[in-house]
């Protein structure tokens, strides 16, 4: 149950932090759907990696 709440907190943080990045210069013109898919996959990857890092850190140190 604790990992679920960690996923929620990390999801909110990742969405909030990705909102501050201007990535329009990276993509070619008229590639809107590809840019959205990349942005979505990047967000999902960050959420997964950060959540598992924090969870492994907590379980290794025996906090949770």
Domain count, the chain: 1
The domain of 10 spans 2-61
Residues 50, 53, 56, CA angle at the centre, nearest 5°?
145
Question: Would you state the pLDDT for residue 45?
Answer: 97
Query: Are 55 and 6 within 8 A, CB to CB?
Result: yes
> What would the pLDDT profile of 3-59 be if each residue is shown by its tens digit?
999 999 999 999 999 888 887 788 888 888 888 899 999 999 999 999 999 999 988
d(C-alpha 14, C-alpha 12), whole Å: 6
Asked if residue 64 has pLDDT above 60, the reply is no
């Amino acid at each position: 149950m604790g990992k679920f709440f960690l996923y929620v907190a990390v999801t909110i943080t990742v969405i909030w932090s990705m909102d501050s990045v201007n990535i329009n210069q990276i993509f070619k013109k008229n590639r809107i759907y590809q840019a959205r898919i990349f942005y979505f996959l990047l967000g999902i990857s960050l959420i997964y990696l950060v959540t598992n890092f924090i969870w492994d850190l907590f379980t290794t140190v025996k906090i949770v």
